[in-house]
Structure 1
């Protein structure tokens, strides 16, 4: 029988480098926002000017009250053209989505990707623990995050 002359060896755990991939690291923080009382035409102009597809709607206290998208605006534009109305009189509050699904900044980016796929939503407002709107994460932001990840050790 052969005995090891070095004695009992301490087995060191394998350290795996993990990547922090939170929503807060990839969300947009410089947001275009709209007021519930703004006209749909103002929203259309801003969406086109800034080349965005939608934005949060905040009240006079800066609280998130909804989201308005180009799809919401398109419905009003088509209705106006169909009825041959020259000016759209609709207000944001009448056309925005008010049952908005929010996301926390510490949410894992892959969990956010899963939410996008399951809910078929294009953007999520990001709110902190105090309910303040601090950003927005889009599908494009998630794709950028995943593209920048190493191909192993996601968490």
Structure 2
């Protein structure tokens, strides 16, 4: 008899500023990342947008305005680098409205890259690479 799995949920923003797309690097793993993160246990039965807003504040600063499309466009498997936990990525389109990003200490690099020319392979690996490739193929 198989047993049901337990999976974490991470919500990621595919953040655009015109034809530019924000990529980041996780300080601990050295691998590519996107704004967003894992949902806390107490957020699961709340409005999931509150979890996204918390992550935006934590990772991009409080002085930024972002418009997030509340309808996910991507659901993908993932493994969280820290602890290798199985995880589900829920991806949302997002647009920078105004403000300057204040990168948190969770990341040590960020760059706005051209969606039409960007090669994610030097920075991203495994399931995050797959997710970014899907995004670039369909939305560049």
Normalised TM-score (structure 1): 0.23
Q: Which structure has the larger Rg over C-alpha atoms?
A: 1
Normalised TM-score (structure 2): 0.25
Please identify which structure carries the higher helix content.
1
